[in-house]
Amino acid sequence: MHEVSHQVRLMGTIISLTIYHPDAQALVAQAEVRLRDYEKRFSAHNPESDLMKVNQQAGIQPVKVAPDMFDLIQVGKEMSLKSDWAMNIAIGPLMKLWHIGFKDAQVPSQAEIEATLKLINPERIQLDPATQSVFLEELGMELDLGAVAKGYFADRLKEFFVEHGVEAGIINLGGNVLTIGRSPKNLHGIWNIGVQNPHAIRGDLLGLVQVTDQSVVTSGIYERKLLVDGKEYHHIFDSKTGFPIDNEIASVTIVSDKSIDGELWTTVLFSHTPHKAVELVENLPGIEALIFTRDLNHYSTSGITPIFHYL
C-alpha cells in the first residue's frame, strides 16, 4: 500500500496528512485544495472571508452563506446555548479585544470588557434555513468558529478520503487528530496519539491514547498565552466574566468518533471542575474525556482507562 505524508502551514498551525492508497499523492493534493478553501471562507481574521461578510453586516442585514457554513454555524449556536455559553461562537468581539496569540495582545480595561460582553450573546444569532442566511442582530457582533471549525474540516476530509477508497490514514490539524481505519504500522492496527504535557514544550508528552478509526482532540491553556506584570492569561475565555477561565484545568482531551464532537467538548468542559466535567461526559455515547489539572493530577471517564498509557 502506497504511503504519502504531507505537511502544510494553514489556519495558523501545521497541518499533517498521511494516507495509504495507490493514488495517495493526488488525493493529498486535492485535500490541501479543500483546506485552503476552508481557510479562505471560514477565517475570522481575513476581511475578505465569507464569515467576515456575515460579521461586517451585523446589525444591518442577513447574509446568505454556503450550506457547509450554515450547518456549522447552526451546530455552533446549538452548543453555545445548550452549554450555557461555555462554548460560544459569538465570542468574536471578546477574542479580538484581548487578541491573545497576536502581537497586539493586551489586558483590556474593565469598561472595555463590560462593553464587549454585550456583543457576545449567541441567542442573537438569527438563522433562516429557508434562505440559508445568517443575521447578527447587534452592530459589532462577530462570529468566531475557532472552537468548532478544525473538527468540522477534519471530518469532511475523512469523508473525502474514505469516499475515494482510503482505508488507513491520519489527519492532524494542529493537534486535532482524526484517524482512518487501522494503522498499517502497528501489529494490532492501533494509532498511538500523544497527549501534550501542558507545562512543557510542544512534543513533550504525558502519555499516549490508543485508538482505531477515531478522533483525539486536546485543548490546553498552553496553546496561546499573554504574560503581563507577572500574571499569565490564556486564550480560553469565560463568556460571563470576559476573562480567561480561571480554574484548575490545564488540558482536556476528548476521544470520539467525530472530530467536531472533540472540538465542542474540549471547549465546554473547561468551564467546569474536573469532577463535573467527567460527570457530564461519562454517559455520552461514544465520547471519552481525559483531564489534566495544573498540578498534573488526572481525571477521566471510565472508557479512557484501557486506552491511555503514561510515558
pLDDT grade for 183, boundaries at 50, 70 and 90 = very high
In-domain check, residue 275:
yes
| Residue 202: per-residue pLDDT | 79
In-domain check, residue 158:
no
Amino acid identity at 96: K
In-domain check, residue 159:
no
- Do 77 and 113 have their domain in common? yes
- Do 299 and 190 have their domain in common? yes
| Residue 98: per-residue pLDDT | 97
DSSP secondary structure code for residue 124 in this structure: G
If one compares 137 and 147, the residue with the highest pLDDT of the two is 137
Judged against a pLDDT cut of 90, whether residue 283 lies above it is answered with: no
DSSP-derived secondary structure for 259-286: HHHHHHHHHHHTTS-HHHHHHHHHTSTT
Name residue 226's beta-bridge partners: 233
Total domains in the fold of the chain: 2
In-domain check, residue 108:
yes
- Kindly list the distances between the CA atom of residue 291 and the CA atoms of 148, 249, 260, 269, in Å, as whole numbers in the listed order: 19, 7, 18, 9
Report d(CA 218, CA 200) in Å as an integer: 15
Contact 307, 210 (CB under 8 A): yes
Judged against a pLDDT cut of 90, whether residue 169 lies above it is answered with: yes
- Do 116 and 188 have their domain in common? no
Judged against a pLDDT cut of 90, whether residue 12 lies above it is answered with: no
| Residue 84: per-residue pLDDT | 97
| Residue 200: per-residue pLDDT | 83
pLDDT grade for 156, boundaries at 50, 70 and 90 = very high
Contact 292, 198 (CB under 8 A): yes
- Do 9 and 56 have their domain in common? no
Average pLDDT (42-52) is: 94
* Nearest C-alpha neighbor of 60 from the set 164, 134, 146: 134
Torsion, Cα of 196, 202, 205, 206 (10° steps): -50
In-domain check, residue 156:
no
In-domain check, residue 174:
yes
Judged against a pLDDT cut of 80, whether residue 1 lies above it is answered with: no
- Kindly list the distances between the CA atom of residue 267 and the CA atoms of 53, 65, 200, 249, 279, in Å, as whole numbers in the listed order: 25, 25, 21, 11, 15
Angle between helical axes of 149-163 and 24-42 (0-180°, round to 10): 150
| Residue 27: per-residue pLDDT | 98
Question: What CATH number is associated with residue 247?
Answer: 3.10.520.10
| Residue 271: per-residue pLDDT | 95
**Domain ranges, residue 217:** 3-25+166-310
The pLDDT tens digits of the residues spanning 203-221 come to: 889 999 999 999 999 999 9
Q: Which spans in the chain are helix H? A: 24-42, 50-56, 67-82, 92-98, 110-117, 149-163, 259-269, 274-282
What value does the mean pLDDT of the chain take? 96
- Beta-carbon-side half-sphere exposure of residue 75 (alpha carbons within 13 Å): 17
The pLDDT tens digits of the residues spanning 220-247 come to: 998 888 989 889 999 999 999 999 999 9
| Residue 201: per-residue pLDDT | 80
In-domain check, residue 79:
yes
In-domain check, residue 91:
yes
